Structure 1
Amino acid sequence: MTTQPQTADAVADRPDDQLDALLTDIAEDFSTSPRSPILHTPAEHGLSFQDVTFPSEDGTPLEGWFVPAEGADTVVVINHPRWFSRSGLPAHLEPWRSKWAGTGNDVEVNFVPDIAILHAAGYHVLAYDLRNFGHSGAANGGLTSGGIFESRDVIGSLRYVRSRPDLNDAKIALFSRCLGANATLFAMERAPQAFEHVRCLVACQPLSARVVLEQGAKRNGLPVECVDEIGRRIRLRTSFHLDAMSPVAAARSVRTPTLVYQVHDDPMTRPTDVQAVFDAIPGQDGRDKELFWITGTTRRWDGYLHFQNNPTRVLDWLARHTR
């Protein structure tokens, strides 16, 4: 939902058939996602890597990179936001630029520097494409489910790590972003046994579908009441109610030390939603969970770029729980 903002009067003056078409377009855009190309690789940073493929929990073929680090005893497993791939998103190029310019996110996000930083810090890295993104297989009719179907990919990545003889005894940390963070939380709710040996989670910018649509309606001059109708149309396409795609309830099942971070003034969501996710995560004290806000920007993409620009906090969290 990224069209240019419109005034309330313009919305009110729109013929019913035009409003109906707009709501349909929003529902279709929210239910499926175009793929982003893989334009960067670890080779750009002089890193040796393996192209790998492995099955999701339901057999969907997933594609990724494994970047070994000599002497490492921990592997960091990375997934990505919606619309992105393991290499990022070329939002500085068309057609992505037009889609994201309205929210100020018309800049490239390249995730490969994150891999280089983790490798330099002494970690193996497994970065993979979620289903229906990057080079991974199509599944579920191409539908995006806010993390529900995608949770199967998180389980598949953990199984793959344990299937490799060179990683059989490795400690595991997860670095999950946006849709990937939601997917991780849903997987923890559904299959907690799969995470028994995961040392920690970094969850970058999880979000709830309803909040995203409400914020989009606000930006585009639509009455908030339209969100229920959009949600009805999304459910007819995906079978999922909007509220079922919120990770808040799933976060109650987290038993892994978790660091959450978010751009505070991101117009695509609200701080209260991320706070609700964090508050739902059980924790005895500050050692079990932490939340920090990125300030001084309204660009969501700056949250995705935060680690490569300011890696210390995340690296300290990983070291605290894996070394």
Structure 2
Amino acid sequence: MTFPSQDGVPLEAWFIPCTGSDRLVIANHPMMFNRYGCPTHLEPWRSFGTASGNTFEVDYVADYRILHEAGYNVLTYDERNFGLSGIGNGGLNSGGRHQGRDVIGSLLYARGREDLKHMAIGLFSRCNGANANLYAIHTQPRHFDDVRCLLLCQPLSIRSIMTRELEQMGLADRVDQLEREIQLVASVTFDQMSPNLWARSVKTPAFVYQVHDDVLTTPADVQATFDAIPIAQKKLHWIQDTTLRWDGYLEFQRRPAPMLAWLDEYMA
């Protein structure tokens, strides 16, 4: 199936119905992934994760099965420029800014579909998808008035990941140079691609989770995003005993109880 983003980019999607349920979870994915996940146990995708040790498969189908068995309908889609979805904005990424239109497109689709429009909606957004969710909330909050809750898996500031990657290459003094090169191509600076700023507009109960010792970022970056959320209905869940970001992407299917409890609390 397919539906349009807010600006018309066609988004390829799966809808997984749960008979008798009036609850819908809309899920998206990290950069370089798609709605299935990412086969980083195989080349050429393996090379994407090699430097950080993330060389194992992330298969999100298991997440959708858990949600379905817990009584949720699931809508999941490929963001623009990934998977089978259309190309937008010249194929450039922007730390989730452009994909914010995809988040809104998924909400417009759900509210316009006869069998879904009366359902309680929760958003399950991962990494670049979490950034997209936060940017959409920050810039167009009216679309989120009736969203019940958020699951935000590993939102990430572009400055944080670029700084960490340059440090690991012995090029820590080149951050400003890299930022300027990216700005010349994408027309945005690192700080304009930061969920730490956008999170201050969140009014929806939010569960944030993150690998604490993730080699691709710092705990302070995710803590700043969480701290910026200006409501009491929020929770930060740290994943310990690993440095691998992909372990965060698999946390839901390994230990779903805290996230399911959050969904159940706000989507009952």
Normalised TM-score (structure 2): 0.99
- Corresponding residue number in structure 1 for 2:246: 301
Work out which of the residue numbers 251, 254, 264 in structure 1 matches 2:212. 264
Q: 2:231 aligns with which of 257, 261, 283?
A: 283
Rounded to whole Å, the distance in 2 between the matches of 1:307 and 1:221 is 34
Sequence identity (%): 55
Instruction: Report the equivalent of 1:29.
Output: none
1:143-158 equivalent positions in 2, closer than 5 A: 143-158=92-107
CA distances 1:47-76 after superposition (whole Å, capped 9, x unpaired): xxxxx2111010000110000001111100
Q: How big is the shift at 1:283?
A: 1.6
1:93 corresponding residue in structure 2: 42
- Aligned positions of 1:30-179 closer than 5 A: 52-179=1-128
Q: Which amino acid aligns with 2:166?
A: A
> Greater Rg, structure 1 or structure 2?
1
SS at match of 1:225: helix
CA apart distance, 1:98: 2.2
Counterpart residue number, 1:273: 221
- Ranges in structure 1 where 5+ consecutive residues have no aligned partner: 1-51
* Residue identity in the other structure for 1:240: V
Shift of the alpha carbon at 1:168? Answer: 1.4
| Distance (Å, rounded) in 2 between the aligned partners of 1:99 and 1:208 | 19
Give 2:199's aligned residue: 251
Deviation of the 1:153 alpha carbon: 0.3
Size of the alignment, in residue pairs? 268
The 3-state SS of whatever aligns with 1:165 is coil
Runs of 4+ off more than 4 Å = none
TM-score (norm 1): 0.82
Instruction: State how far apart, in whole Å, the 1-side matches of 2:45 and 2:116 are.
Output: 37
1:315 paired with 2:260, answer yes
Paired residue secondary structure (2:20): coil
Displacement of 1:297 in angstroms is: 0.6
Partner of 2:155: 206
Instruction: Look up the equivalent residue of 1:260 and give its one-letter code.
Output: V
